[in-house]
């Protein structure tokens, strides 16, 4: 399955959970992945934590998380949570 398909299914799953992202926001999510040249896993983590921590889609926060996860080569949610705690973004 292509990365774009994986991300599309992930976004659809968020939609079913009540996170209604506008087309402009969805386009920005894809743009962010290309801009930061990061993995689909980083995109999924960054988007999930952006929505969780900001309670809405915050573009600059999302890009910051993409860059942070990429820079630290985060592999999974557990590593992401640890990094976010170390950076004072989570308790």
CA distance 21 to 71: 27
**DSSP string across 63-91:** HHHHHHHHHTT--SHHHHHHHHHHTTS--
Burial, 10: exposed, middle or buried (Cβ in 10 Å; 0-12, 13-18, 19+)? middle
| pLDDT at residue 54, as a whole number | 95
The secondary structure of residue 37, as a DSSP letter, is T
pLDDT in tens, 48-60: 999 999 999 999 9
pTM across the whole model: 0.91
**In whole angstroms, what is the distance from residue 33 CA to residue 18 CA?**
23
């Amino acid at each position: 399955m292509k990365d774009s398909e994986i991300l599309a299914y992930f976004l659809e799953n968020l939609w079913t959970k009540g996170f209604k992202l506008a087309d402009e926001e969805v386009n920005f999510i894809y743009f962010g992945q290309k801009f930061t040249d990061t993995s689909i896993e980083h995109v999924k983590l960054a988007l999930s934590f952006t929505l969780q921590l900001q309670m809405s889609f915050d573009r600059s926060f999302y890009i910051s998380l993409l860059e942070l996860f990429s820079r630290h080569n985060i592999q999974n949610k557990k590593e992401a949570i640890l990094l976010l705690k170390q950076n004072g973004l989570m308790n």
